[in-house]
Structure 1
Amino acid sequence: MSGIVEIAKKAGVSPATVSRALRGIHHVNEKTRKKIVDAARDLDYPVRPDLLPRGQNEKTNTIGVIAPFISRWYFSQSISGVEQALREAGLDLLLYNFAQVDARERVMMQKKLVDKVDGLIVISLPPSEKEFERLLSLGIPVSLLGVASELCSSVSIDDVLGGRIATQHLVDMGHRDIAIMTGQKEPAFDFRVANQRLQGFMEVLQANDLEFNPRNELYSDFTSTTSEIAMEEFLTRKKLPTAIFCESDEMAFGVFQALRKKGMRVPEDISIVGYDGHDFGVTLGLTTVAQPVRFLGQLAASQVMALIEKPESVVRQMVVPIELVQRQSVLKIN
C-alpha cells in the first residue's frame, strides 16, 4: 500500500506537508494541496471526498454492499432489505460479492471505493484491523450488518443469546443428550456467529448441569449440502442424541434430508431446532430462532443514509430482538 512517504516523493514535498494536506489542515498552499491530492490518487491512496477537485466530490447516489456467498438465504435476504430501503430513497446499490479470501482482500482494501459509492455496508464480515483502517480512511459512512462494532455504525443480533434460547427450549422439552451442528473448525471467513451460538449452547448445558459429549459436535459450512453429508456420517453411530441444535436453518434442512434417507422421523426419532427464520422452515415445520433478516438490511441502509445526510450524526450500534418460533420439530419427552 502506498503511504505518506511515497506521496511526498511523487509530489516533491515533505511527508509532514502531505499529512497536513490530506487531513484538511488549512496551512497548505492550494496549489501544493492539489499536487498532493493528485499524487495520492495516482498512487491509489484514499482521499477524503471534500479534498477532491470540484466535480469529483459530487454524490454518486450509490451505496456499496460488501458480502460473501450471495446465493445463501441469509445474505440474499439481507441484500434484499438493503435494496428495498435504497430504492425507496431513490438510491442505487453496487454489490461487491466474493467467495474466496483473496477476493475479499481485494475488495476490502480497494482504494477507489470512495469514487464509486457514498457509503458502505459490510455484511457478516468482521473487518481486520487493517481493513477497518482502510474503510474508515475513505471518509464515507460505513455500517456493519450482522457484526457488532464500537468503531462504526452496526446492526446486529445477540447470537450468544440466540444459542441459549434454542438450547434452553430443548432442555425445557426434556432433552438431555443434545448435539450441535456448528461452523467449520477452520473457516475461510471469520464468521463470529458460529462461535457465539456455540457459546450460548454451552452456557445452557452448564447452567443445567448437563455434560456435553464432544462426539455430539458436528461441523458444516452452513449449507444444506455439507450438513447432509455430516449428518449421514453422524447417523452411523450406534447411540444417537435425542435432539440437535443446528446453527442455521439451511443446516437443519440438510439434517432433515439425511434423516429422511435413513427412514427416520422428525421429531419422533430426533428433534431439531434451527436458526434464522428461513421461509422453507414453515413447510418443514421447523422450530427455529428467527431473526428479521430483511429488516436488518433495511436498518443498515437507513444508518448509512442518515450519516450521508448528516455526517456529524452519532454512530449507533443497534441490537435487534430475536424470537423462538415453535413449530413441530421438537418432541416433548419425559
Structure 2
Amino acid sequence: MDSDVDRGSGTGRSRIADVAALAGVSPATVSRSLSGQGNVSAQTRERVRDAARRLSYVPSPLASGLASGRTRTIGVVVPFLTRWYFGSVVSGVTRVMEAAGYDVLLYHLGSAADRDRFFARMPLARRVDGVLSLCMPLTEDHTLALRALDIPLVSVGSRMAGLPSVCIDDVAAAHAAVNHLINLGHENIAFVGGIPDDPGFGFVSSELRLRGYRSAMGAAGLAPPSALEVFGRYGIDGGATAMARLLSGARLPTAVFAEYDELAFGALWSLRRAGLAIPQDVSVVGLDDHEMAEVLDLTTVGQDAASQGSLAATMLLETLDGRSDTPPTDIVLPTELRVRGTTAPPRRGVGVVPST
C-alpha cells in the first residue's frame, strides 16, 4: 500500500491531518475545502477532495458542527413515545429532517417529575440547532427556559404565545363529532375523557375537546347531566373503565363521544362485553383516526398526525436556513369526519340499562 495512504493513529480511521499532509495544505484548508466554505481555489479544493477519497476520510459531524456553529441536530421533546399520535408526529418529523441531513434527538418526558428534571438541567443547550415541542404541558417557567435557549422553536399540537405552531382545532373537531350524533337524532350523548396518570401532566387538548362537546350539546339545546361526563386513564383500559361506569348508571346513553380513539376502543370493548349491540344499542364516535380505527369500523374525526410533524419540521428548517422572515405563524390543519359502522340513529326503546 502507498505509504502516504497508511498515515494515521493506528485506529484504521484517517484524520484531517492525514488528508492535509497528502494534499500538501493545512488542516484548516481541508475543512474549508470539504465544507464548501471559505476562499479556496478550485484546483486546491479538488486536490483536497482527491486526497480525502484516497484515504476514505469521513469528516466528523461534531467537528464540522463546531466549525460552523451548527450541530445539524434538532431536539424533539415528547411526553410519550408509544402512543399513536406522538409516534406518527415523530415519524413525520424524522422523514423531513433526515432528508435535509439533520439528526433527530428525542427527549421522552413521561411525567411531571421527568419534565421538571429535564428543564432543571436543560440538556438541549449547545446540543441542538432547534427544538420541536410535541403537546408538552409546560409551565410558564418551562416555556421561558425554552425561549432562553435562543434557538428556533416550533410547537406541535398546542400553542405557545409568540412562537410558530402546527395543530388542529380541537374544539371544532369535538364539536363535529357530537354534531354527527345529534344529526342522527341522539340527545342522550355521553362524553368519555382521559385523565393523566400523573395529575401534574394534563394536556390542553383534553380541556378543548370537552369544551367542544359541551358547546355542541348547548347549541342543540341539550343539557346533559354531569353523570354523562366520565373519565378514565389514558388508553384503552381507561376507556373501558369509564364506559363501565356509564353502564352502571340508571340510564344508558344512546351515544358516546370519546375524546380520542383509544378511549373509544375501550368503550367498544366494555359495551360488547355487556352484550350490547353497536350501533343498534349505543353509537360510539372517537377523534384522531388511529391506525386501528378503520379495522374496528370506528366512526371518528380524523387528523393527519404525520403531516403535522412534517409541516412543523419544514417550518423549523426554513427558520434554520434563514428562509423564513415572517412573524410566527399558527397553522391549523383541517380535520374530517369519517363515518363508519359504529354510529346510527337511536333505536326506539334504547336508553335503559338492560337487566342482568
Q: TM-score, normalised by structure 1?
A: 0.80
- List runs of 5+ in structure 2 lacking aligned partners: 1-64, 348-356
User: Once the two structures are superposed, what CA deviation does each residue of 1:157-188 show, in whole Å capped at 9, x if it has no partner?
Assistant: 11010111011110000000000011328843
Contact in 1 for aligned 2:193/2:229 (Cα 8 Å): yes
User: Once the two structures are superposed, what CA deviation does each residue of 1:223-256 show, in whole Å capped at 9, x if it has no partner?
Assistant: 1112112222321223201000000000001111
1:157 equivalent among 160, 163, 168: 168
User: Once the two structures are superposed, what CA deviation does each residue of 1:181-224 show, in whole Å capped at 9, x if it has no partner?
Assistant: 11328843130111111111111111111111110111023311
Structure 1's 65 and 333: CA in aligned 2 closer, same or farther, altered over 3 A? same
**Is 1:113 matched with 2:124?**
yes
**Is 1:73 matched with 2:75?**
no
AA aligned to 1:323 is: E
Q: Which residue number in structure 1 is paired with residue 52 of structure 2?
A: none
**Is 1:219 matched with 2:231?**
yes
Contact in 1 for aligned 2:264/2:286 (Cα 8 Å): yes
Q: Which residue number in structure 1 is paired with residue 201 of structure 2?
A: 189
- Please give the residue correspondences for 1:84-95 in structure 2 after superposition, counting only pairs within 5 Å: 84-95=95-106
Q: 1:109, CA displacement in angstroms? A: 4.2
Contact in 2 for aligned 1:287/1:328 (Cα 8 Å): yes
AA aligned to 1:241 is: P
Q: Which residue number in structure 2 is paired with residue 302 of structure 1?
A: 314
**Is 1:268 matched with 2:280?**
yes
1:321 equivalent among 329, 334, 338: 334
Q: Which residue number in structure 2 is paired with residue 246 of structure 1?
A: 258
Structure 1's 125 and 111: CA in aligned 2 closer, same or farther, altered over 3 A? closer
Q: 1:112, CA displacement in angstroms? A: 4.1
- Distance, in Å, in 2 between the alignment partners of 1:74 and 1:55 is 35
- Distance, in Å, in 1 between the alignment partners of 2:190 and 2:294 is 22
SS in 1 for 2:340: coil
2:290 equivalent among 274, 278, 281: 278
Contact in 1 for aligned 2:171/2:212 (Cα 8 Å): yes
- List runs of 5+ in structure 1 lacking aligned partners: 1-53
Structure 1 stretches of at least 4 aligned residues deviating more than 6 Å after TM superposition: none
Q: 1:150, CA displacement in angstroms? A: 3.0
Q: Which residue number in structure 2 is paired with residue 236 of structure 1?
A: 248
AA aligned to 2:69 is: E
**Is 1:331 matched with 2:331?**
no
Q: Which residue number in structure 2 is paired with residue 179 of structure 1?
A: 190
- Distance, in Å, in 1 between the alignment partners of 2:103 and 2:127 is 11
Decide which moves more: 183-192 or 213-222: 183-192
Q: Which residue number in structure 2 is paired with residue 45 of structure 1?
A: none
Structure 1's 154 and 108: CA in aligned 2 closer, same or farther, altered over 3 A? farther
Decide which moves more: 203-212 or 111-120: 111-120
User: Once the two structures are superposed, what CA deviation does each residue of 1:63-87 show, in whole Å capped at 9, x if it has no partner?
Assistant: 1000112111111111111111111
Q: 1:57, CA displacement in angstroms? A: 6.3
Q: Which residue number in structure 2 is paired with residue 139 of structure 1?
A: 150
Contact in 2 for aligned 1:222/1:248 (Cα 8 Å): no
- Distance, in Å, in 1 between the alignment partners of 2:302 and 2:86 is 15
Output the aligned Cα RMSD. 1.8
Q: 1:311, CA displacement in angstroms? A: 7.5
SS in 2 for 1:218: strand
Number of aligned positions between the proteins = 281
Q: 1:151, CA displacement in angstroms? A: 1.7
- Distance, in Å, in 2 between the alignment partners of 1:62 and 1:114 is 12
